[in-house]
Amino acid sequence: EDQVTQSPEALRLQEGESSSLNCSYTVSGLRGLFWYRQDPGKGPEFLFTLYSAGEEKEKERLKATLTKKESFLHITAPKPEDSATYLCAVQATSGTYKYIFGTGTRLKVLA
Amino acid sequence: NAGVTQTPKFQVLKTGQSMTLQCAQDMNHNSMYWYRQDPGMGLRLIYYSASEGTTDKGEVPNGYNVSRLNKREFSLRLESAAPSQTSVYFCASRAQREGSEQFFGPGTRLTVL
Nearest to A46 among B33, B58, B101 (CB): B101
Instruction: Give pLDDT < 70 ranges for chain B.
Output: none
A24 touches B at CB < 8 Å: no
Of the candidates A46, A51, A101, the beta carbon closest to that of B43 is on: A101
User: Span A82-104, mean pLDDT?
Assistant: 90
Query: Rounded to whole angstroms, how far apart are CA atoms A37 and A86?
Result: 5
Confidence category of residue A95, pLDDT binned at 50, 70, 90: low
pLDDT, tens digit (0-9, with 9 covering 90-100), for A72-84: 999 999 999 999 9
Q: What's residue B1's pLDDT?
A: 74
Beta strands in chain A (DSSP E): 3-7, 10-14, 19-26, 30-38, 45-50, 56-59, 62-66, 70-75, 84-92, 100-101, 105-110
Give the count of beta carbons closer than 10 Å to the beta carbon of residue B104. 23
The rounded distance, in Å, linking the Cα atoms of A36 and B94 is 14
Give the DSSP letter string of B42-100: EEEEEEEESSTT--EE-S--TTEEEEE-SSSBEEEEESS--GGG-EEEEEEEE-SSTTP
* Closest in B44, B99, B106 to A43, CB measured: B106
Q: Distance (Å) from the C-alpha of residue A57 to the closest C-alpha of chain B? A: 15
- The pLDDT score that the predictor gives to residue A96 is 66
CB contact under 8 A, B99 and A41: no
Beta-carbon contacts of residue A40 (< 8 Å; ≥ 6 apart)? none
Say if the Cβ atoms of A98 and B48 lie within 8 Å: yes
